[in-house]
Chain A
């Protein structure tokens, strides 16, 4: 037990201010009621007005020691100040603290990692970009679509389509578009008379064919100058651009005259 003048246990005459739910009360204890513990403290409700409440304190604690009165008023002032601040804070933005559960966070982190692995982002992005390129959303910025067209065409070549379609398509393509062709495919000499020479391919089989074709061609060209009716037909056959032109032998041109006799 202490013996200071601000201790309620040491002093039989004592007064404080307490607040309950925003309401301030003045509590007083006197020696006459020390025998009745249940009724020891006298509770007085103070008005909400600051000055009036101070007057109330003065009026209730008249003839009480100066120290107690002063202390009560001080306490009351402090209480009213913090009540005001509480009311102001409620109006402002309040930071809400949300508790994190560590288990949940760890679970989510792991799920995220797995999802990232499953997503394969780079591949997905690349695929999407290529799709957009194919669909033509980029318009004419890139020259690539022509390449795709060419490749599709070459495939059709091997599947043996008719030559006319080929020629038409190739002509349409060649107009205005740029192709990047491999070096061995480009014939640098200007032998445009022999159209087959322009389409010289690198494969050995075709080279053989071409070589034999060239020979036939030369032979036939000489023949052309001699024979009359049949030659143009044969000549046009010889001028076909195809890689797999049938090899014609000299003997075939001769049946012509034989027929005439019979």
Chain B
């Protein structure tokens, strides 16, 4: 418990206090003590609080850690009380003014303060529309191909991963699960292409828990490598519904704003068939928030035109994109479109890639 901790809130002088060396402690004590007395007097004059403030000038002098800690806690509580009082006062003022009150300030969130990304896609951007019309997914979005997904794991999967793959296969229509048995991916891929698969999903496992996912669009498509976390299997979900049926689900893609986000969004959209069966009332959601993609699978029901109820079925997991590669899976010679570089990209808290 340093003196500076306490005096920061007190006034301008406190910042100078921080820079002074500990040799000048006596001076500091006196100065800060004097300053505190001043502050206390001021506060008494302003009569904001009827009671006298607790004398925190002795906080750093108390040698007993427990007692010091208690004093600190009391100080914090006092501060909190004052803050609440201030807020109540403001609220009363606001109510008293009624319509004339100044508009409420919008609190700053990370989403508000997000650094503007120049690759953010404009809905009417022609170049983007043209690109998307001619990229690897164009055949899917033009309705030519139907998705057929092969789900597999890394070598020797444990029970959790196996169950996860099975549940994924029920969520994604037209999905087949095959065991790996030590086959090389580079050999699997031509076989898949030969059998008309459009997607290859490899769930990587570490310490009996799935922790990575490679999503490979097959005929020469992009390969995305994700980090998987927070996997919840069906029986671990609370208040869940019955098993999903065979109807094609709808797809919701939220918050994919940049070019990269767009391409990842299309990657996810192409997993599911183009014509969702609304009779089934199932929806798969990929929600991007701060570069984390949350996957949820729900069943919805419209109670009236203003309210809808959703019930979670299937598994849930979160993905974080690690790299996007142009061709099919090739870790050595592949051409990477985007790679997560932690030092560059994670440096700023308000900058996101997707």
Contact = CB atoms under 8 A, between A and B. Distances in A.
Interface of A: 92-93, 95, 104, 108-109, 111-112, 114-116, 118-119, 121-122, 124-126, 128-130, 132-134, 138-139, 141-142, 144-145, 147-148
B278 interface: yes
Interface stretch (B51-59, B142-150, B294-302): B294-302
B278 A121 contact: no
A129 B287 contact: no
Contact of B289 (A93, A115, A145): A115
Interface size class of B (residues with CB under 8 A): 20 to 34
Contacts of B296: 121, 125
B342 A104 contact: yes
Contacts of A95: 155
B28 interface: no
B332 to A, nearest CB: 11
B283 A119 contact: no
A147 B304 contact: yes
B49 interface: no
A139 B276 CA distance: 13
B302 A126 contact: no
Interface string B264-293: 000000000000001100010101011110
B306 interface: yes
23 contacts: A93-B182, A93-B185, A104-B342, A108-B229, A108-B320, A111-B290, A112-B229, A114-B290, A115-B291, A115-B292, A118-B109, A118-B111, A121-B294, A124-B254, A125-B300, A126-B308, A128-B254, A128-B285, A129-B302, A133-B302, A144-B302, A147-B305, A148-B305
Given A121-B287, A129-B308, A147-B305, A93 B184 contact: yes
B284 to A, nearest CB: 10
Contacts of A129: 252, 283, 300, 302, 308, 310
**Main SS at interface, chain B:** strand
Nearest to A129: B308
> Most B CB atoms within 10 A — which of A93, A116, A121?
A121
Nearest to B298: A125
Nearest to B288: A119
A92 B186 CA distance: 11
Contacts, number: 82
B110 interface: yes
Given A93-B182, A129-B302, A129-B310, 16 more contacts: A93-B184, A104-B342, A108-B229, A115-B289, A115-B292, A118-B289, A119-B287, A124-B287, A125-B296, A125-B298, A125-B300, A126-B308, A126-B310, A129-B252, A129-B283, A130-B306
B318 interface: yes
A125 B310 CA distance: 8
Closest 6 CB pairs of A and B: A144-B305, A119-B289, A115-B290, A115-B289, A115-B292, A129-B308
A118 B110 contact: yes
Contact of A130 (B298, B308, B320): B308
B249 to A, nearest CB: 12
B246 interface: no
Interface in B147-191: 155, 182, 184-185
Contact of A109 (B229, B304, B308): B229
A132 B278 CA distance: 12
B230 interface: yes
Contacts of B285: 121, 124-125, 128
A134 B287 CA distance: 21
A124 B283 CA distance: 13
A126 B254 CA distance: 12
A166 B296 CA distance: 45
Nearest to A97: B206
Given A121-B287, A121-B296, A112 B318 contact: yes
Contact of A142 (B229, B250, B302): B302
Contacts of B185: 93
B88 to A, nearest CB: 26
Instruction: Choose among B155, B285, B305 the residue with the greatest number of A CB atoms under 10 Å from its CB.
Output: B305
A138 B308 CA distance: 14
A109 to B, nearest CB: 7
A144 to B, nearest CB: 4
Given A111-B292, A112-B292, A122 B184 contact: no
A111 B300 CA distance: 29
A212 to B, nearest CB: 36
Contacts of B289: 115-116, 118-119
**Which of B278, B289, B318 has most A Cβ within 10 Å?**
B289
Most buried by B among A108, A112, A139: A112
B305 A145 contact: yes
Contact of B252 (A111, A128, A133): A128
A112 B230 CA distance: 9
Contacts of B110: 118
A235 B306 CA distance: 42
Nearest to A139: B278
Contacts of B109: 118
A118 B294 CA distance: 12
Contacts of A92: 184
Nearest to A109: B229
